[in-house]
Amino acid sequence: MIGCGLAAAFFLSFGGLSEVVERWIAQEEYSHGFLIPLVSLYILWEKRLTIAVEYRSGSWWGVPVIIAALLIAFIGEISALYILVQYAFLLLLAGFAITALGKAARHTFIPIILLAFAIPLPYFLEAVLTARLQLLSSEIGVMFIQWMGIPVYLSGNVIDLGAYKLQVVEACSGLSYLFPLACLGFIAAYFYQAPVWKRAVLFVSTIPITILMNSFRIGVTGWLVDRWGISMAEGFLHDFEGWIIFIACAAILALEIEILERLTRRRGLLDVFGLNIQIPADELLAVAAQREPRRTLPVAMLLVVSLTFAAALGVQAFDKRMEAVPEDVYLAAFPDQIKDWNGTYGSLETRVMQVLQLTDYLMMNFEREAEPMINLYVAYYASQRKGVSPHSPRVCIPGGGWEIADIRRSQVEGIPINRVIIRRGLESQLVYYWFQERGEPIANEYLKKWKLLEDALAYNRTDGSLIRVVTPFHSSEPVEVAEQRLNEFVRAAYPELVRVLPGKGEL
């Protein structure tokens, strides 16, 4: 019965779990994810006798947990927010454990929680975290360089050493070490035979250890550049990355445990680590002979398995339902002249279009006399099911080597927008972007997902667009001038965008 439930859970969550595996393969910071299910299964196997001893009967409390998980999974599938599907899968596992094992299910919670470390962050949160870690690592790295007596100036993520300039890019943010080390810290805290406060200190310390170690790497790079030039630094960065810096962080974790024990109970490292002692088979039989007869809950298990299969079939049926797709959407009908701006058409590379999986797009550069150019980009998707949706500029901007210097919400003539200032070296640009979702402009990326769910249920529509407007500005030009330029353009161009993009309601 439990096997049928797990099969139904995998069937329901297949899209979200597939996305997890794809990111394990594509992103180095999540490559440890392949090992986590194995560790989780080992911990569960280690607890099997303890569970057998404590088991009395199943519990109906698993039913509401399963129902909540199914609702979350359904919302995630329909709104293409796979993070909900992935966490709903873990909740399903917990619900099945509670239904089948009752109070003994508590021994399965740590293995299930551990699986959460295998789930990648949403791209949006990952971009925000990367940007903050870049800035923090740069600041601490500069402190290391100054401590070594080297004159240095920090501008954003650019470290100016005079003759050389170093840019702390995404790969140097420390994110690729943070997730694996946090996972290792959680596993170490589980096996660490010590009070809860020591385990908590060990786990939480993985964050500052990662940041400080990465900043030290940046500081040493700056010192090498100052002494022997950029070629020596490139060799150091190549050698001192990946598993080497991760192993160094793990060694610091081990040293931390040693210090904690020397300051308190004076136990050695080998004494505080160990696998939980398993219950001998003869003791298991003795306890089993004295306990009450097992009382199973076949009705509860049958109910949760049936609900999960029904939800999986329901999602499949919803996905196969003929979607209402707008017809006659031609972005090429957008005019090449907006007021006194003259536009020229651009194009995306084939490989970029394959990655974006868009239905249609518009890329134009608009110019008018004595002013910097304005770039307009519109990405249109006739369907946003199964995770195919516009890529957030918050993710794409850092990927192009740009640094997000400032981001805030604003409005232009009642149109909600995200206003972003980006920099790369001495270049600066002002970016406006928002999502045009079935005739409604939306700036908030999570509100966009909610509206996607509403319209998928109400109108059977999931079409939508990303609209991005960009203009460069010089350091000598106040950003307010660039802002005024974009505001004027958006006011003039928006009616034309509404004309060529699908509107509200039923088709």
Over the stretch 244-276, which tens digit does the pLDDT of each residue have? 778 888 899 989 988 888 887 767 666 676 555
Per-residue confidence at 240, pLDDT binned at 50, 70, 90? low
Residue 439 and residue 482 in one domain:
yes
In a domain, 507, yes or no: no
Residue 168 and residue 305 in one domain:
no
pLDDT digits (tens, 9 = 90+) for 55-112: 888 888 999 999 999 999 988 887 777 889 999 999 999 999 999 888 999 999 999 9
At residue 7, does pLDDT exceed 80?
A: yes
Taking the mean position of all CA atoms in its chain, how far away is CA 369?
Answer: 43
Per-residue confidence at 203, pLDDT binned at 50, 70, 90? very high
Q: State the pLDDT at residue 21.
A: 94
Q: State the pLDDT at residue 487.
A: 96
Q: State the pLDDT at residue 496.
A: 95
User: Where is average pLDDT lowest: 9-13, 138-142, 203-207, 377-381?
Assistant: 138-142
pLDDT digits (tens, 9 = 90+) for 461-482: 889 999 999 999 987 778 999 9
Residue 76 and residue 161 in one domain:
no
From CA 442, how far away is CA 418, in angstroms rounded? 9
From CA 460, how far away is CA 340, in angstroms rounded? 40
Q: State the pLDDT at residue 230.
A: 67
At residue 456, does pLDDT exceed 60?
A: yes
Give the Å distances, CA to CA, from 327 to 352, 355, 438, 463. Answer: 24, 24, 13, 11
Opening angle at CA 226, ends 223 and 229, nearest 5: 110
In a domain, 148, yes or no: yes
**pTM, whole model, 2 decimals?**
0.76
Residue 185 and residue 71 in one domain:
no
User: Where is average pLDDT lowest: 74-83, 389-398, 436-445?
Assistant: 389-398
Residue 177 and residue 291 in one domain:
no
From CA 38, how far away is CA 45, in angstroms rounded? 10
- Which distant-in-sequence residues (6+ apart) come within 8 Å of 446 by Cβ? none
Q: Which amino acid is at 258?
A: E
In a domain, 105, yes or no: yes
Phi, psi of 411 (to 5 degrees): -140, 145
User: Where is average pLDDT lowest: 263-272, 278-287, 368-377?
Assistant: 278-287
Q: For the chain, how far is it from start to end, CA to CA, in angstroms?
A: 45
Percent of the chain predicted with pLDDT > 90: 36
Residue 476 and residue 340 in one domain:
yes
3-class secondary-structure state, position 329: coil
Q: Which of 320, 349, 378 is the last residue of a domain?
A: 320
Q: State the pLDDT at residue 234.
A: 60
Residue 235 and residue 249 in one domain:
yes
Per the structure, the count of domains in the chain is 3
pLDDT digits (tens, 9 = 90+) for 419-428: 999 988 778 9
In a domain, 326, yes or no: no
Residue 237 and residue 362 in one domain:
no
Q: State the pLDDT at residue 65.
A: 96
User: Where is average pLDDT lowest: 46-55, 160-169, 361-370?
Assistant: 160-169
Q: State the pLDDT at residue 332.
A: 87
- The mean of the pLDDT values for the chain is 84
In a domain, 24, yes or no: yes
Q: State the pLDDT at residue 469.
A: 97
CB 218 within 8 A of CB 137: yes
Q: State the pLDDT at residue 468.
A: 96
Residue 386 and residue 311 in one domain:
no
Q: Which amino acid is at 441?
A: P
In a domain, 196, yes or no: yes
From CA 399, how far away is CA 50, in angstroms rounded? 48
Per-residue confidence at 506, pLDDT binned at 50, 70, 90? low
Give the Å distances, CA to CA, from 436 to 394, 409, 464. Answer: 17, 16, 6
pLDDT digits (tens, 9 = 90+) for 14-31: 888 998 999 999 888 888
Domain containing 47 equals 2-120+280-320
Q: State the pLDDT at residue 15.
A: 84
H or E element in which residue 433 lies: strand 427-437
pLDDT digits (tens, 9 = 90+) for 306-325: 999 899 888 877 766 667 88
CB 471 within 8 A of CB 430: yes
In a domain, 475, yes or no: yes
Residue 11 and residue 85 in one domain:
yes
Q: State the pLDDT at residue 453.
A: 82
3-class secondary-structure state, position 426: coil
Q: State the pLDDT at residue 137.
A: 81
User: Where is average pLDDT lowest: 45-59, 349-363, 383-397, 402-416?
Assistant: 383-397
Residue 101 and residue 128 in one domain:
no
Per-residue confidence at 183, pLDDT binned at 50, 70, 90? very high
Q: What is the pLDDT averaged over residues 195-208?
A: 92
Q: State the pLDDT at residue 56.
A: 82
In a domain, 234, yes or no: yes
Per-residue confidence at 351, pLDDT binned at 50, 70, 90? confident
CATH code for the domain of 461: 3.40.1000
At residue 204, does pLDDT exceed 70?
A: yes
Taking the mean position of all CA atoms in its chain, how far away is CA 270?
Answer: 36
Per-residue confidence at 37, pLDDT binned at 50, 70, 90? very high
Q: State the pLDDT at residue 85.
A: 92
Residue 400 and residue 257 in one domain:
no
